[in-house]
């Protein structure tokens, strides 16, 4: 049981860190590059530079990071076999 709890906590921490990385990336490019007069926008593939980096490149980057993280750190956990054997209070320990 402790092994499963340790794995679940590790996965939650990794997920939170990846979300924070993505949010900082998105916020930095969306509000950093996007905080200029629209007349001065630079364009990539017909999209404003800030949008391309924050939404397109950021999405692709976080998707790759998530895929790598899932392959390296996440493990399949069958919770149903533990639900039947112990009460719900046991999960809180």
Give the separation between CA 36 and CA 39, rounded to whole angstroms: 8
Cα dist from 56 to 13, 49, 63, 85, whole Å: 25, 10, 11, 46
- How distant is the alpha carbon of residue 7 from its chain centre? 17
What are 14-48's pLDDT values in tens digits?
A: 999 999 999 999 999 999 888 888 899 999 999 99
- What is the 3 state secondary structure string of 9-23? HHHHHHHHHHHHHHH
Q: Supply angle C-alpha 44, 50, 52, rounded to 5.
A: 45
Question: What pLDDT does residue 4 have?
Answer: 82
Give the pLDDT band of residue 90 (cuts 50, 70, 90): low
Q: For the whole model, what pTM was predicted?
A: 0.75
The residues spanned by each domain of the chain are 2-87
State yes or no: pLDDT of 80 exceeds 90: no
What are 57-67's pLDDT values in tens digits?
A: 999 999 999 99
């Amino acid at each position: 049981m402790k092994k499963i709890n340790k794995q679940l906590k590790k996965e939650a921490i990794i997920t939170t860190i990846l979300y924070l990385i993505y949010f900082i990336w998105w916020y930095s490019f969306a509000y950093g590059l996007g905080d200029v007069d629209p007349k001065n926008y630079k364009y990539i593939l017909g999209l404003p530079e800030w949008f391309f980096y924050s939404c397109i490149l950021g999405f692709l980057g976080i998707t790759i990071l998530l895929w790598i993280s899932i392959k390296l750190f996440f493990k399949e956990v069958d919770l149903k076999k533990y639900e039947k054997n112990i009460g719900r209070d046991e999960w809180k320990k």
